Amino acid sequence: MASYSISDLARELDITTRTIRFYEEQGMLTPERRGQERIYSAKDRVALKLILRGKRIGFSLAECRELIELYDPSSGNHKQLYSMLAKIAERREQLQQQLLDIQQMQLELDTAEERCRAALEMTNVTA
């Protein structure tokens, strides 16, 4: 069975050891202890990769934790994969709404800018 030190994982995943300890404190990683040394399993490595991927696409820590809890390689991870697909669809909807909100805000900024420029032109003509 593969095992990893905290520095191995930090180096491989290009993160700090503090980041790994944070996820451990959150109960998302459960390394074995040999004295002061933490020994991470292949499952911990997969969980950490899932957390990092989830954070990159905007999942909360709670959502990442839920996905980790569904990790079950003996079942082909079907529950985890279906849950991930649902979360991806939800995240896409959120992003689409944010995009629409940004576009609306840009239109409002354009209108405000046009009004300001028109008001300046009026004061320059009358001055």
1-61: CATH topology is Multidrug-efflux Transporter Regulator; Chain: A; Domain 2 (1.10.1660)
Per-residue pLDDT of the chain (127 residues; tens, 9 = 90+): 789 999 999 999 999 999 999 999 999 999 999 998 999 999 999 999 999 999 999 999 999 999 888 888 788 888 989 999 999 999 999 999 999 999 999 999 999 999 999 999 998 876 5
**Residue 17 has what pLDDT?**
95
DSSP 73: G
CA–CA gap between residue 55 and residue 58 (Å, rounded) = 5
Q: Where along the chain do its domains lie?
A: 1-61, 70-127
| Positive or negative torsion for Cα 93, 98, 101, 102 | negative
| φ and ψ of 31, to 5 deg | -70, 155
Q: Helix or strand or coil: residue 100?
A: helix
Are the CB atoms for 29 and 61 separated by under 8 Å?
no
- What's this model's pTM, rounded to 2 decimal places? 0.74
Residue 126, pLDDT score: 66
